[in-house]
Amino acid sequence: MSSFKSVIAGIGGYLPESVLTNEDLAQRVDTSDEWIRARTGITQRHVAKEGEYTSHLATKAAQAAMKDAGLTADDIDLIVVATTTPDLTFPSTATIVQEALGMTHGAAFDVQAVCSGFIYGVTVVDAMIKAGQAKHALLIGAETFSRILDWEDRATCVLFGDGAGAFVMSAAAADDDATGKGVISSFIRSDGRHRDMLYVDGGPSRTQTVGHLRMLGNQVFRHAVTDIAAAIETCSANAGVETADIDWFVPHQANQRILAGVAKKLGVDPGKVISTVATHANTSAASVPLAFVAAKADGRIKRGDLVMLEAFGGGFTWGAALLGY
C-alpha cells in the first residue's frame, strides 16, 4: 500500500472557436443532418483553425485546470499528454506544452491509446503519484482529429471534432480524509488483434505520411458496448463498489447509441450518464475530461461525488477509472 493517493485538484477544457454543423458537412459530402443525428446524436463539432495545433488546445486546457486547482506551472512536476494527433512525430506534444507553460523543470511525455488515452493517462499518473514520482501532475487529453480525417469519407468525417481537456492530479496522504478519495481504482485493457477495425492508414515508419482514419463502424460499435460494460464492472468490483452506488458516469463521447447501449447493458439510469456528444462529437482522448468539465460547470458533478470514467478506442484499447471527486 502506498502512503500516497492521487486526487483531482483541478479540471479545465478548451474547444476551438470554429464550429462545423451537420448542415455544413452536408454541403461537402453526401450526408444529412437527419442521418447524423439519428445514427450518432451529433449536431455539431468544433474544429481547430489553420495554425492552431494540438499543443495550443492542450496548453489552454492545462491553464484552465491549473487555475481551477489554484496552482501555477512552477508547482507542476509532470505533464502527460494523451493524444493520437501530436503536433509532430517528435518531440512529444507534452514537451511542447511544457515549453509553452514556461516550465524548465519536471518531466513531460505523451501517451498513445487513441480514444482511451485519458483513461490510460489516469492510470499512469496515478501509479507515478503513488510511487512518489510526482506531486502535481497535469494530465491532458488533446486532439485535432480534423487533421487525420478523410473529408470525402462520409462514414467517418461526420463523427469527430477537436478539443482538449485536462486534470491536475495531486499527491495527498493516503489517510487524509479532507482531500477526498481521488483515484479509487482503474482498469485498462487492449487487444491488438482488432487493430484493423479502427486505424490510420499512414505513419512515419510504414508510409512516411500522416494517413487518414479508417473504420469498420458497426464492428467497432459492437465491441465498444461489450468491452466498456465489462471494464466498468471490473473497475467497480476491484473497488468493492456497486455500479448502482456510482453518482455519475463520464464516458468517452463516441456516439449516443454506444452510451445508451452501455447504460442499458449495465442497468444504469441514463440520467446519470454525462453526454456532450451532441455538441462536441468524438474528440478522442479529450472527450472524457471535456465531458467532466461540462458536467461540473452545469452543476451536475460536485465535490465528493463518485464518478466512473470510461473509454474505448483504436487498438482496440479500453478501460475505466473510478474517482472520488
How far is it, in rounded angstroms, from Cα 273 to Cα 260?
A: 9
Nine-digit cell at 113?
A: 491509446
- Amino acid identity, residue 206? R
Applying CB under 6 A, the site for ligand ACO has a residue count of 23
Q: Could you confirm whether 157 is annotated as catalytic?
A: no
Of the two residues 73 and 288, which places its CB atom closer to ligand ACO in the complex?
A: 288
How far is it, in rounded angstroms, from Cα 120 to Cα 114?
A: 10
Residue nearest to ligand ACO (CB): 217
| Piece of the chain touching ligand ACO by CB under 6 A; list 68-76, 151-159, 164-172, 232-240 | 151-159
Would you count residue 71 as binding ligand ACO (CB under 6 A)? no
- Cis peptide bond N-terminal to 292, omega within 30: no
Do 111 and 124 contact (CB within 8 A), yes or no?
A: yes
Choose, by CB under 6 A, the member of 79, 159, 288, 321 that binds ligand ACO.
159
Would you count residue 115 as binding ligand ACO (CB under 6 A)? yes
Do 228 and 310 contact (CB within 8 A), yes or no?
A: yes
Identify the active-site residue in 22, 212, 280, 282: 282
Of the two residues 128 and 215, which places its CB atom closer to ligand ACO in the complex?
A: 215
Q: How many CB atoms lie within 10 A of CB 310?
A: 25
Would you count residue 154 as binding ligand ACO (CB under 6 A)? yes
Binding mask 30-69 for ligand ACO (x = CB under 6 A): -x---xx--xx-----------------------------
b or e along 259-271 (b: 16 or more beta carbons within 10 Å of the residue's beta carbon)?
bebbbeebebeee
Would you count residue 27 as binding ligand ACO (CB under 6 A)? no
How far is it, in rounded angstroms, from Cα 78 to Cα 11?
A: 16
Q: For the chain, how far is it from start to end, CA to CA, in angstroms?
A: 21
Choose, by CB under 6 A, the member of 92, 190, 255, 283 that binds ligand ACO.
255
Secondary structure E strands in the chain: 4-14, 19-21, 44-46, 78-82, 107-111, 136-144, 162-173, 182-190, 198-200, 213-215, 248-251, 306-313, 317-324
Choose, by CB under 6 A, the member of 55, 312, 317, 322 that binds ligand ACO.
312
Would you count residue 224 as binding ligand ACO (CB under 6 A)? yes
Q: Could you confirm whether 282 is annotated as catalytic?
A: yes
What is the 8-class DSSP label of residue 179?
G
Burial of 152 (0-12, 13-18, 19+ CB in 10 A): exposed
Would you count residue 181 as binding ligand ACO (CB under 6 A)? no
Binding mask 263-302 for ligand ACO (x = CB under 6 A): -------------------x--------------------
Would you count residue 214 as binding ligand ACO (CB under 6 A)? no
Contacts of 118 (CB under 8 A, 6+ apart): 82, 139, 141, 165, 252, 285, 286, 287, 288, 289, 309, 311
The least distance separating ligand ACO from the CB of residue 97, rounded to whole angstroms, comes to: 23
Q: Could you confirm whether 252 is annotated as catalytic?
A: yes
Of the two residues 83 and 98, which places its CB atom closer to ligand ACO in the complex?
A: 83
Cα–Cα distance list, 203 to 69, 84, 101, 276, 280 (Å): 37, 11, 29, 30, 27
Would you count residue 229 as binding ligand ACO (CB under 6 A)? no
Identify the active-site residue in 115, 136, 235, 280: 115
Would you count residue 322 as binding ligand ACO (CB under 6 A)? no
Would you count residue 218 as binding ligand ACO (CB under 6 A)? yes
Residues annotated as part of the active site: 115, 252, 282
Binding residues (CB under 6 A) for ligand ACO: these are 31, 35-36, 39-40, 115, 154-155, 158-159, 198, 215, 217-218, 220-221, 224, 252, 254-255, 282, 312-313
